[in-house]
Amino acid sequence: ELRVVHCLIARPETRLELVKKVYSHPQALGQCRAFLKHLNCELIPTYDTAGSVKMIKEKGITDGAAVASSRAAEIYGMQILAREIEDNPNNFTRFFILAQQDSPPSGNDKTSIVFSVSHRPGALYEFLKELASRKINLTKIESRPTRQKPWEYNFYLDFEGHREDKAARETLDYLEKAALFVKVLGSYPRAK
């Protein structure tokens, strides 16, 4: 995990009171809404945060600023007008390292799966009950519509434990029999 820290970045000659436009990725603009509201500037969505800093530099924009990391300011030789402008200081980004096989069990693992259950009352509950009955802690669940049929969903789920752990293995065996489909995305050490 990496803490998300946003800065307001501009050309060296730009002063904060001259900023009329702020450029950045829509996600970053949204994460700094409170700070940007007080600037009373036009918010202009762009493809990415660091690219906004580069654009301001290359186009010589002196009445604009970008929301990006301090590293982007350093890379492009720009000045930081304001630091830590994000609304939520507890915002973190997670990164994944992809591999062909799981990490070996560490004793402090997490497993990620995607599955679909039949579209009937209690189908999801029955699976979640299996997790609870085996004392497996669910850490995340998200639903996304399937592409096959309207009103049917895939569930993305993370739980504590490695797929080789007895309780996790038994739960996955149950799910493979009860679900329309299941795919184990992997088991890996939990973030610190």
Report, as residue numbers or ranges, the catalytic residues.
93, 95
Who's near 91: CB < 8 A, 6+ residues apart?
A: 3, 4, 31
Read off the DSSP letter of residue 108. Answer: S
Rounded distance between C-alpha atoms, residue 8 and residue 29, angstroms = 11
The Cα-based distances of 134 to 28, 51, 108, 128 in angstroms read 40, 48, 17, 10
Looking at the DSSP bridge assignments, the partners of residue 145 are 153
Helix intervals (H) in the chain: 26-31, 33-39, 49-59, 70-76, 123-133, 166-178
Rounded distance between C-alpha atoms, residue 44 and residue 80, angstroms = 19
In contact, 80 and 12? CB cutoff 8 Å: no
In contact, 76 and 68? CB cutoff 8 Å: no
Please provide the size of the chain in residues.
192
Rounded distance between C-alpha atoms, residue 134 and residue 146, angstroms = 28
